[in-house]
Structure 1
Amino acid sequence: MNEEREKLYGIGEVAKLTGVPIKTIRYYTDIDLLPATERTEARFRLYSMTAIWRLQLIRVLRQLEFSLEEIRAMLVGNLSPEMAIDWQLEAVGQHIDQLQRVQQVLRQAREVGQRPGQSIDSLYQLGLALSENVSERSHFVTSKLHALVEQANLPAEWRCQLLEHFTWHSPETLTSRQIAAWTEVVRLLNDPAFAEEALRFNSSSEPQAGGVMDIAEYNRQALELIQRAQSLAVQGVSPESEEAQELLWTWIRLVAVSTRRAITLDFVRELSARLPNSPSDIMQRFWTLMAELSGREAPLSYKEGFDLLASALRSLLARPRALKAVLDAPAKQAGRPGSLT
Structure 2
Amino acid sequence: MSEPQEKLYTIGAVAKLTGVPIKTIRYYTDIGLLPATDRTEARFRLYSTAAIWQLQLIRVLRQLEFSLEEIRAIIGGNLSVDTAIDWQLEAVAQHINRLQRVQEVLQQAKEGSQQPEQSIHTLYELGLALSENVADRSHFVTAKLHALVEQANLPDEWRRQLLDHFTWQSPESLTTQQIAAWTEVVRILNDPAFSEEALRFNSPALHQASRQIDIDEYNQQALKLIQQAQSAALRGEPLESKEVQALLWDWIRFVAASTQQAITPAFVQDLSAKFSASRNDLMQRFWTLMAALSGREAPPSYQEGLDLLAAGLRLLIAQQA
Is TM (by shorter chain) over 0.5? yes
Alignment pair present for 1:168 and 2:168: yes
Structure showing greater Rg: 1
Cα contact 1:292–1:298 (8 A) shared by 2:
yes
Cα gap change, 1:284 to 1:64, in 2 (>3 Å): closer
Q: 1:229 maps to which residue?
A: 229
Q: CA RMSD in A?
A: 2.8
CA 274–49 in structure 1, closer or farther in 2 if over 3 Å, else same: closer
How many residues align structurally?
317
Q: What's the offset of the Cα at 1:121?
A: 2.9
Aligned mates of 2:153, 2:179 — CA distance in 1? 33
Q: 1:136: Cα distance to partner?
A: 1.2
Tell me if the contact between 1:8 and 1:47 (Cα under 8 Å) persists in the aligned partners: yes
Match of 2:309 in 1: 309
What is the SS of the residue equivalent to 2:88? Answer: helix
Q: Tell whether the 8 Å contact from 2:206 to 2:255 is kept in structure 1 after alignment.
A: no
CA distance in 2, matches of 1:112, 1:159: 31
> Which of 303-312 and 60-69 deviates more?
60-69
The residue that corresponds to 1:105 in the other structure is 101
Alpha-carbon distance in structure 2 between the residues aligned to 1:264 and 1:49? 94
Partner of 2:248: 248
- Counterpart CA distance in 2 for 1:158 and 1:110 is 37
- Give the 3 Å change call, closer, same or farther, for CA 102–132 of structure 1 in structure 2: closer
Q: Contact conserved, 1:142 with 1:168, CA < 8 A, in 2? A: yes
Whether 1:36 and 2:51 are equivalent positions in the alignment is no
Report deviation, 1:3: 5.7
Tell whether the 8 Å contact from 1:125 to 1:186 is kept in structure 2 after alignment.
no
Structure-to-structure mapping, 1:1-341, within 5 angstroms = 4-73=4-73, 75=75, 77=76, 79-80=77-78, 83-115=79-111, 116-117=114-115, 118-128=118-128, 130-208=130-208, 210-276=210-276, 278-320=278-320
Distance (whole Å) between structure 1 residues aligned to residue 307 and residue 192 of structure 2: 26
Q: Any idea what SS the aligned residue of 1:230 has?
A: helix
Instruction: Please give the alpha-carbon distance, in whole angstroms, between the structure 2 residues aligned to 1:204 and 1:8.
Output: 85
SS in 2 for 1:119: helix
Q: C-alpha distance in 1, partners of 2:160/2:238?
A: 39
The alignment partner of 2:301 has SS state of coil
Residue 149 (structure 1) shift: 0.9
- In structure 2, C-alpha distance between the alignment counterparts of 1:181 and 1:95, rounded to whole Å: 18
Cα distance, 1:88 vs structure 2:
1.4
Offset at residue 313 of structure 1 (A): 2.0
**AA aligned opposite 1:294:** S
One-letter code aligned to 1:103:
L
Q: TM-score, normalised by structure 2?
A: 0.84
Code of the residue aligned with 2:108 in structure 1: it is V
Q: Is the 8 A contact 2:134 2:172 kept in 1?
A: yes
The separation in 2 between residues aligned to 1:175 and 1:274, in whole angstroms, is: 39
Distance 1:51 1:209, change over 3 A: same
Please name the residue that 1:332 is paired with.
Answer: none
Distance 2:303 2:2 in 1: 94
TM-score by length of 1: 0.80
For 2:239 and 2:44, the matched residues in 1 are separated by: 96
Deviation at 1:105, TM superposition (A): 1.2
- Contact 1:171/1:294 (8 A) holds in 2: yes
Name whichever of 98-107 and 3-12 sits farther off: 3-12
Please say which of residues 134-143 and 205-214 is displaced more in the overlay.
205-214
Residues 231-278 of structure 1 show CA distances to partners (whole Å, capped at 9, x for unaligned) of 212222221222111101111121122222333344333322333464
Distance in 2 between residues matched to 1:73 and 1:207, nearest whole Å? 63
**Same amino acid, percent of matched pairs:** 66
Shift of residue 141, structure 1, vs aligned partner: 1.5
